Structure 1
Amino acid sequence: MPLSAGDRAPEFTLSDHQGRNTSLTELLKNGPLVLFFYPKDDSPGCTRQACSFRDNYETLLSRGVSVAGISKDSGEDHKSFIEKHQLPYPLLVDTDGSIHENYGCQTLFGMLTRRITYLIDTDRTILLAHEDNFRMGSHVEAVIGALSLKAEKQKAD
């Protein structure tokens, strides 16, 4: 079962597309994180999803949010995917699926990946959990909507 808003995001350390190890704590150092899980590098749906984050990357950065993707692909596959589509954010390697499992992103005995995007605050609280396997652009839209609500709430407080 996927994690929900209000849950605490599990810590992890994974290598990225350049072979560097990075942890959730490190990714949250400069502000909230969009962490999106996707099934396969360079497949049509995953490419649309990754490129929608690329196309909105500056907007997210301007709101103090960083982005990282995660799949079960290899670092070499990630590197190719990043270069081909000019993705400005890291892709993390979870070949054994353990982080997918911790975040509730596996179905059918770990054979398939659920397309889920989490917006994680600096204290590891999940602010948004969005799942949509068909409307790839909805992931960015949901994140921007959640950030707008958070900003409005902070103004009201």
Structure 2
Amino acid sequence: MKEEAIKVGDKVPDFELERQDGGFFRLYDLLREKNVVLYFYPKDSTPGCTKQACEFRDQYEVFKEQGAEVVGISSDSVESHQRFEKNYRLPFKLLSDKGGQIRKMFGVPRKLGLLPGRVTYIIDQDGIVRYVFNSMSKPLEHVSIALEVLREINSEQKHYNKA
């Protein structure tokens, strides 16, 4: 297992996890189609995580316009994710990382050694991490910063395509 945290410029490892609908999600399958905002969060239905998920929900159309998909990961069960999704009408995928294997693979730190951390990765279609935001106490900034970074990536691509 990779111990070192994944940083900007790193190629992300591919992984497969169970989705809340019971199917399986593979990161590289999605990256073939679009950029990915992958966010790790501590726990379904807690105040900060609910605020963050609802902000991603409220901005979801903007993420889609920016050519990105939002994916949330926590160690909660698929059943917990289903309730969380239903209660807050979340339009994006929530993945169950039982045992925290993917969290470890990405090197997501724990807060005070106990609480699973809150970290967002913006990953371009080449699988390269373009931005990492780590903050337990600012759940809403994960969303606004992700959108800023996606706009930059898209303007770079437009500029590159013209050249």
TM-score (norm 1): 0.93
The answer to whether 1:123 aligns with 2:159 is no
> Contact (CA 8 Å) 1:97, 1:110: kept in 2 or not?
no
SS in 1 for 2:53: helix
Compute the RMSD of aligned alpha carbons. Answer: 1.6
Which stretches of structure 1, 4 residues or more, deviate above 6 A after TM superposition? none
TM-score (norm 2): 0.90
Query: Residue type of the partner of 2:149?
Result: A
SS in 2 for 1:91: strand
1:47 match: 50
Corresponding pairs, count: 157
Find the partner of 1:36 among 25, 39, 45.
39
2:156 match: 153
Counterparts of residues 90-105 of structure 1 (less than 5 Å):
90-105=93-108
Using the aligned pairs only, state the percent identity.
38
**Cα offset, 1:60, TM superposition:** 0.4
**More helix, by proportion:** 2
2:144 match: 141
Take 1:2 and 1:49, find their aligned partners in 2: how far apart are those partners?
A: 22
Take 1:95 and 1:82, find their aligned partners in 2: how far apart are those partners?
A: 18
The answer to whether 1:27 aligns with 2:30 is yes
Take 1:147 and 1:108, find their aligned partners in 2: how far apart are those partners?
A: 27
Q: Decide whether aligned partners of structure 1 residues 42 and 137 sit closer, same or farther in structure 2, where only a CA change above 3 A counts.
A: same
The answer to whether 1:14 aligns with 2:27 is no
Take 2:68 and 2:100, find their aligned partners in 1: how far apart are those partners?
A: 25
Deviations 1:45-94 (A, max 9, x none): 00011111101000000111011100000000000000000000110010
Could you tell me which runs of 5 or more consecutive residues in structure 1 were left unpaired when the two chains were aligned. Answer: none
Take 2:122 and 2:32, find their aligned partners in 1: how far apart are those partners?
A: 14
